[in-house]
Amino acid sequence: MNTSMKTNKMLCLAAALGLLVSALSACSWHNDKQKEEKLAATAKISGTEAERIALAKVPNGTIKEGEIEKEKGKLIWSFDIATPGTADITEVNVDANTGEIAGIEHEKAKDEKKEKD
């Protein structure tokens, strides 16, 4: 087999592998979204109300990311909130059934980056 054919086969294999990875990633995202929707449907506190509660704990904060999840057996809304003038993030967890603060954690920017990786 000549070099050109080997190269073509390798390129086709790489392209097929890339398509497979993309498809699996899309399926995973869709499943995560469905899971979040189901959890949100069982919550007594809406996402909007939980955002209001969380933002009250971080003056002048801006929500960068939010999700509903089960953590330690509790259904919570979790928000990463940025504060002007700092790169750090405050994670505020709101109990999705009572609206009470379930936890507040201050994360340095470098620690937040590690968490995402």
CA dist 37 → 27, 72, 85, 116 (Å): 15, 19, 34, 22
- Looking at every residue in the chain, the average pLDDT score rounds to 83
Confidence check: pLDDT of 14 > 80: no
Which pLDDT does position 110 carry in this prediction? 66
Q: Return the CA Rg of the chain.
A: 21
- Per-residue pLDDT reduced to its tens digit, 34-56: 788 888 899 999 999 999 999 99
Is a pLDDT exceeding 60 seen at residue 27?
no
pLDDT digits (tens, 9 = 90+) for 87-116: 999 999 999 999 999 999 998 876 655 555
Would you state the pLDDT for residue 65?
95
- Protein fold of 44-117: Nuclear Transport Factor 2; Chain: A, (3.10.450)
Give the pLDDT mean for 6-32: 63
pTM equals 0.68
pLDDT at position 25: 59
Q: Which two tokens stand for residue 109?
A: 């920017």
Question: If pLDDT is split at 50, 70 and 90, which confidence band does 60 have?
Answer: very high
15-23 own/partner pairs: CB under 8 Å, 24+ apart: none
Cα torsion 82, 108, 51, 53: sign? negative
